[in-house]
């Protein structure tokens, strides 16, 4: 279970990186740099999909864990979870 938590944390970090790069992209005017950042965003999105596929494959024989994973990956759940941790 710890390994799954680590993988989910890694995926969340990738999502945060994507968000940061998108914000940077909004403030870059030079076309060459915009293309570089857009490539980085695409690479991170591909990595996120690949990691989710790896998790799904590893959990294929554990349907109960798949349901938990799907529940956890809902965007609203993670937002609420972060808020609870900050207030604790």
pLDDT tens, residue by residue, 50-70: 998 888 787 777 776 766 777
55 token code pair: 């998790």
Tokens 């680590």 belong to: 6
The pLDDT of residue 3 is above 50 = yes
| Residue 85: band (very low, low, confident or very high) from pLDDT cuts 50, 70, 90 | very low
The pLDDT of residue 41 is above 80 = yes
- For residue 75, the model assigns a pLDDT of 67
State the average pLDDT for the chain.
Answer: 81
Whether residue 79 contacts residue 15, with contact meaning beta carbons closer than 8 Å, is answered with no
The pLDDT of residue 33 is above 80 = yes
The pLDDT of residue 88 is above 70 = no
Nearest residue to 52 via CA among 35, 70, 36, 64: 70
Tokens 């938590």 belong to: 5
């Amino acid at each position: 279970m710890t390994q799954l938590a680590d993988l989910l944390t890694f995926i969340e970090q990738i999502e945060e990186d994507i968000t940061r790069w998108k914000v940077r992209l909004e403030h870059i005017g030079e076309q060459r740099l915009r293309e570089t950042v857009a490539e980085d965003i695409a690479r991170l999105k591909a990595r996120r999909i690949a990691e989710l596929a790896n998790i799904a494959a590893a959990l294929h024989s554990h349907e109960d864990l798949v349901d938990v994973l799907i529940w956890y990956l809902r965007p609203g759940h993670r937002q609420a979870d972060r808020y609870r941790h900050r207030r604790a």
